[in-house]
Amino acid sequence: MTLLRTIAALALAGLPALAASTSAVSAPRDDYAQQWPLQLVRADAGAYRVDLSDAVYQQARQSGLRDVDVLDGTGYPVPAALYRPDAGAAARTATRVSLPWFALPARAAGTAPDWELVSEVEADGRLRRVEARGIGRATATGPQTALLVDASALRSPILALELDWTPGTALDAAYRVEASDNLERWRDVAASGRLVDLQQGGRRLVQRRIAFEAGGLRARYLRLTPQNPNAVAPIRAVSAEFGTAPDLSPLRWRELNGRRVEGDGEAVRFEFQLDGRYPIQRVDVSLPGNYAVNWTLESRDSQDSPWQPRLSPWTAFRVAAGGHSASRPLSVRVDDRYWRLSAGGAVAAQPVLRLAYQPETLVFIAQGAPPYTLVAGSARAERADLPLPQTILALQAERGPNWQPAEASLGAMSVLAGTAALQPPEPERNWRTWILWAVLVAGALIVAGFAFSLLKNQTPKPQGPDSPAT
């Protein structure tokens, strides 16, 4: 029994070390290819944001920039998270400002008004007075349920309009939105949302917001016309929602020259390789001279992955100087490295694939000891999923919605492990683990043998007529 206890004690003593050796995960500096020292604008801010450069995207190897992280002075990772230009802590914070507005007679879409607009405009474009007068014999100009909104004082794109009205009236109204910069030429604006104010069973459903497309709307004047002029509530206030920190970073374009590959049937295909993990959001194709070609776009993460459709067939064209098609947005941002264009017909020249993106921001907490370093490029290490977004939201709630992490900038790039960090890790030979497993297996065999010998010695002998009496 003493031997059995000894073996059990050795096995139990080895289990913690075995668990520690099999579960230990580290991400030292030599797991990354390159590094950039971080220069902090303020040493006591605690939270910082740094805009990523093209060099960071070129060094990253993993999708979603999982191999981009921030390390402290001792080489340990700190809490960090990636934010897009239009989301997260570094994004714009919505703010509302009241706008002047004037009531106008409503009219159906596509019909000529029986009134004319008389306005007085200040030198800076602000409306001083607006009046609708009947034309000719027309004296009744219809219900004053349309709105002329003066947004000439704004310098940022309008994300949405919010309307307020006298409560107590059931409302479910859709509006047509038009924009103008001179009160003479108007253009239709794509907008979503309708005004709703409904009550039932003691509950109230209210929708006051009319939102515009992503990026907002720039116009000096807006005209809102209800689809049903007689089924709207009296408006008493109009406000505009815009960003206090709008995304002003322009698109960065990467131009790629590809190679022609064999297609199925009459299809003509061109393949391209991107030099980094850029978050692509817009696409354009150009050819020399005049052209009109139907294109289909695909991409994939690696050369062994299947192609994924990104844009259904669209027509890219250029006719004479200045007449060309616009770039196309992707439904989601894609950081694939391999792209393929398929043409619907003959293509005589080599196309140029243009891919656009906006740099992202890495936000981090200055945990641990400085100096701090941004690292990128690894086949072994990944940035941990830490609750940084919740921390940033809590700080905004405490310090105000306009609070943002302090700025940090990238220093000069230098080599850490270089290309060695980009090689997949070899299976780790942990001799200590093997020795511990050998001890456990040997102990188990000894225990089994000891138990077998005990059972053998305790086996009763058969009793018979010739057996000696006990």
d(CA 176, CA 400): 35
> Which pLDDT does position 125 carry in this prediction?
60
pLDDT for 159-181, tens place per residue? Answer: 889 988 877 777 888 888 999 88
What is the pLDDT averaged over residues 110-138?
A: 57
Instruction: Pick the closest to residue 356 from 294, 279, 285 (CA basis).
Output: 279
Residues 354-364, mean pLDDT to the nearest whole number: 94
| pLDDT in the model for residue 5 | 47
Rounded to whole angstroms, how far apart are CA atoms 357 and 338?
16
- With 50 as the cut, is the pLDDT of residue 264 above it? yes
DSSP at 63: G
Cβ neighbours for 418, distance < 8 A, ≥ 6 positions apart: 33, 34
Q: What average pLDDT does this structure show over 432-449?
A: 76
Give 198's pLDDT tier (boundaries 50, 70, 90): confident
Q: How confident is the model at residue 60 (pLDDT cuts 50, 70, 90)?
A: very high
Taking CB atoms within 8 Å and a gap of at least 24, the contacts of 115-121 are 115/141, 115/142, 117/148, 117/183, 119/183, 121/183
In tens, the pLDDT along 384-409 reads 877 787 788 788 778 876 788 999 99
Task: Give the C-alpha separation, 204 to 441, whole Å.
Answer: 70
What is the mean predicted confidence (pLDDT) over 135-159?
A: 71
pLDDT of the residue at 275? 95
Of 161, 178, 180, which Cα lies nearest the Cα of 219?
180
- In angstroms, the CA 54 to CA 434 distance is 45
Give the residue, 21 or 193, on which the prediction is more confident: 193
How far apart CA 40 and CA 371 sit, in angstroms, is 9
User: Quick check: helix, strand or coil at residue 15?
Assistant: helix
265 pLDDT band, cuts 50/70/90, is low
Contact call for residues 168 and 233 (beta carbons, < 8 A)? no
Flag whether the pTM goes above 0.85: no
Ranges 105-114, 140-149, 161-170, 437-446: which has the least confidence: 105-114
> CA angle, 273 as apex, 269 and 278 as ends, to 5°?
125
What share of the chain in percent tops pLDDT 70?
Answer: 76
Q: Are strands 47-51 and 406-410 parallel, antiparallel or unpaired?
A: parallel
* Of 247 and 191, the one with more pLDDT: 191
- Contact status, residue 57 vs residue 413, Cβ threshold 8 Å: no
Q: DSSP state, 107?
A: -
3-state DSSP assignment of residue 34? strand
Q: Give the residue, 357 or 159, on which the prediction is more confident.
A: 357
| pLDDT of 244 strictly over 60 | no
**Which of 390, 354, 360 is CA-nearest to residue 376?**
360
- Nearest in space to 389 (alpha carbons), one of 61, 94, 84: 84
Confidence of residue 55 (pLDDT cuts 50, 70, 90): very high
* Helix 2-23 / helix 431-457 crossing angle, nearest 10 deg: 150
Q: 35 pLDDT band (50/70/90 cuts)? A: very high
